[in-house]
Amino acid sequence: MMLGVNFEREIREQPDVWRRIAESDKAQTLARAIRGRDVVLLGSGSSLFMAQLGALALRRRGLRAHALAASEAPLDNAAYRDAIVIACSQSGRSADILEAVELLRPKELIALTNTPDSPLGERAQVVIDVGAGLELAVPASKSVTATAAILLWAAGLIADAHSRNAATLIETAEDVRGWLDGEGVDIMADAAARIARRRSVVIVAVSYGVPVAEECALKLKEASYIHAEGFSAGEFRHGSAAMLDAACAIIGIVDEHSREIVNRPMREALQAESLRYVFGGRLGDIPVLGPVVGIAFNTLAWLVAAQMLALHVGRARFVESDAPRGLTKTMI
């Protein structure tokens, strides 16, 4: 029996999800709701990493934006009360998210959720359905990239930037679809079989790639039970690089702005005889995994690469990634 059937199907459905977002006003609705306002983005698990991605994108456009783990809100809420809150949640039912909303007492609550008809949706003044559709696999995929697409596009609209738009989102969707339908997935599966034999996996990145690296590590842990950690490439060299050895695999997330910084730990990994791969683009002779797309929405391609890697590492380790041990779709 094939493992992770639902997970794989949902990974492959993502280009269609992005096309629907491109044809909608979801990003425009979010941009109008937060333009010129300080915001706090809440999330847990994958939604937290997308909240971090969104906060970074908004800060780059001059907004004061912070990402807060919903589970930390009981002890870290004083500075965030009465703010504009964007609550990112696949289910809209997570106990951590709902408790955090109560504690923060937001001036306005915006729900960015795959389940608008939920307790979170009922409490929000603005509800944006990310429109990913039903997810059966416990590791989230479609809802993650849908949330990322809306947040990134909204940030671009706030700054009147034109690189993130419907056309570039559709172009990214079709480029990723082409990769999913081509031999790149077989190359990923071969690499995953090698990675599955390692003791641990390190993912290093810069800027937008850092929350993606953390999400990649989470997906690997969920779907395959392998030890994995995501790092800022620069910070990784301040102590954590000691974990590099021949039993370790390292993946660098690369774009035109991060290549030099990411290359530093990758060189150290070569000396440590670690297994090396990259997402996103060329870095010397290191093998590239996953789709390579234009810069506007390259984050989405990195996330798909991370998901497909996790699926195939899980299969190589005989893990049923649709239903990992001890996990449920919603934490109540």
- Provide, rounded to the nearest whole percent, the portion of the chain with pLDDT above 90: 93
Sign for the CA dihedral angle at 291, 295, 296, 297 comes to positive
* Whether residue 21 has pLDDT greater than 80: yes
Output the pLDDT for position 159. Answer: 86
Confidence of residue 29 (pLDDT cuts 50, 70, 90): very high
Average pLDDT score over residue span 94-115:
96
Contact 31, 157 (CB under 8 A): yes
What is the rounded average pLDDT of the residues 106-120?
97
Q: Where are the domains of the chain?
A: 5-164, 182-316
| Domains 5-164 and 182-316 alike in fold | yes
- E-strand ranges in 35-169 read 39-43, 65-69, 84-89, 108-113, 126-129
CB 283 within 8 A of CB 270: no
Distance CA 311, CA 140 (A): 12
Do 202 and 236 contact (CB within 8 A), yes or no? yes
Contact 154, 61 (CB under 8 A): no
286 secondary structure, DSSP code: P
pLDDT in tens, 253-281: 999 889 999 999 999 999 999 999 999 99
Would you mind telling me the total number of residues written for the chain in this entry? 332
CATH number among 3.40.50.150, 3.40.50.10490, 3.40.50.300, 3.40.190.290, domain 182-316: 3.40.50.10490
Residue 332 has pLDDT above 70, yes or no: no
pLDDT band at 75 (very low <50, low <70, confident <90, very high): very high
Overall pTM surpassing 0.75 (yes/no): yes
Residue that the structure tokens 């944006």 belong to: 128
Is residue 5 classed exposed, middle or buried when 0-12, 13-18 and 19+ CB atoms within 10 A define those classes? middle
Mean pLDDT of 154-165: 89
Classify 5-164 by CATH class.
alpha beta
Q: What is the mean pLDDT of residues 126-151?
A: 98
**Is 46 in contact with 91 (CB distance < 8 Å)?**
no
- pLDDT given at position 331: 60
